[in-house]
Amino acid sequence: MGRPRWPRRVAAAVTLRIALLNTGPTARSRHQGVLLGVEEARHAAELFGGSVALEVIDHADAAATSAAAIIGDDDEGHCRSILAAHRPHAPLLMNVACASDVLRGAACSRRAFHVAPSDAMLRDARTSARGATDVVVWNSSLTRFGADTLNQRFRRRFGDPMTPTAWTAWFAVKVLWESALRMKSADPDKIADYLTRDTTRFDGHKGQPLSFRISDHQLRQPVYAHTAAGWVEASPASSAAGESASPTACRMPS
C-alpha cells in the first residue's frame, strides 16, 4: 500500500503530439481508432489540462516529425525504417498492425511498443482454442468488461464496427495519453520509462490489467478465438508468460 504519485491536475500543461502513418490496407480502421482515442484524450484534457495534437503523415514524413509517437501501419519495412532513425528524443513507434515476430525479436527496439499481438501469440491462441477459425485482438460483438460500451461508442461515432486494428489504434492513443498525464510530460523518453515499469497497467476493456512485457515490449493481453461456441477469450502463453518464462531473441540496444 503506498501513496501513488498520480497528478490531480497537470501543473505544466502537457501537449502530446501523435503522428499517424496513414498508409496500408488498414489505414481507414486505424485512422478511426486514433480519432476516437484522440477525442477521448481531449475530453480528459478538459478535466486535467493539457492538449493532444494529431498529424497524419506519409512514411516519407516520419523521419522529420516532432511527434512524441508514431502510430505505425501494416508494413514491417516501415516499422524498421522508423526505428532505424537515431536522434535525441526520437518518437516512439506504437506498433498497432504488424504481427512480425522479428520486430519483437532480432529487430526489437527500446522505442517500439507492440499493441498488435505477435504471430507467436496468434499461433498460441489457435493451438489452445481447438477448432478456432479465426483469432483476433478485438471483435465488435464483444460485450463483457465494458466492451459493449466501447463498441457502441465507436459505432455511434463512425457508423462502422470496431475492427481489430481500430481497437489497437484506439488503445495506443489511450496508452500514450495516460502515460503523459501520469508522467506530467510528453517527452517520448519519459513515456517509454513509464511503459516499462513493473507497476504500469492499462485498462483496454478486456477484463484484466494490460501491460507491456519489459523484455520485448509486447502488450500482454487476451485475444479472441472464433469457435463453434462463438468468440471465446484465449490468453496466449507467449503473451501471459512472465519475464523468465519468455525466451526471446530480443537484445534491447542500450
Partner 1 sequence: MSVSARSTGPTPALLGLLLVAAAHTAGAQAKNLAFVSNEGSHDVSVIDLAKRAVVATIRLDGRARGIHVSPDNRFVYVATSDDRPAGESSADAIAVIDIASRRVVATHHIGSDPEQFAVTPDGRYIYASNEDGGTATAIDLRTGKRLASLVVGIEPEGVAVSADGRWIAVTSETSNSVSIIDAARHKVVDNLLVDLRPRAAAFSPDGSRLYVTAEIGGTLSVIDGKSHALLATVPIDKGNGKPVGVALSPDGRRIHVVSGRTGTLSVIDAATNHIVAVVPVGKRPWGVAVSHDGRFIYTANGLSNDVTVVDASTNRVIGRIPVGQRPWGIALTN
Task: Using CB under 8 A, list all residues that contact partner 1.
Answer: 1-4, 6-9, 40, 43-44, 46-48, 146, 148-150, 152-153, 155-156, 174, 178, 181-182, 201-203, 205, 207-209
Closest CB to partner 1 among residues 35, 135: 35
Strand duo 69-71 + 134-136: pairing: unpaired
Nearest-approach distance from CB 157 to partner 1, in angstroms = 10
Nearest-approach distance from CB 156 to partner 1, in angstroms = 5
Which grid cell sits at 66? 516532432
Closest CB to partner 1 among residues 205, 217: 205
How far apart are the C-alpha atoms of 175 and 118, rounded to whole Å? 18
Query: Which residues have C-beta within 8 Å of that of residue 146, sequence separation ≥ 6?
Result: 205
How far apart are the C-alpha atoms of 135 and 117, rounded to whole Å? 10
Query: Which residues have C-beta within 8 Å of that of residue 59, sequence separation ≥ 6?
Result: 21, 23, 73, 75, 78, 81
Closest CB to partner 1 among residues 135, 191: 191
Nearest-approach distance from CB 93 to partner 1, in angstroms = 24
Strand partners, 74: none
Closest CB to partner 1 among residues 133, 149: 149
Nearest-approach distance from CB 143 to partner 1, in angstroms = 10
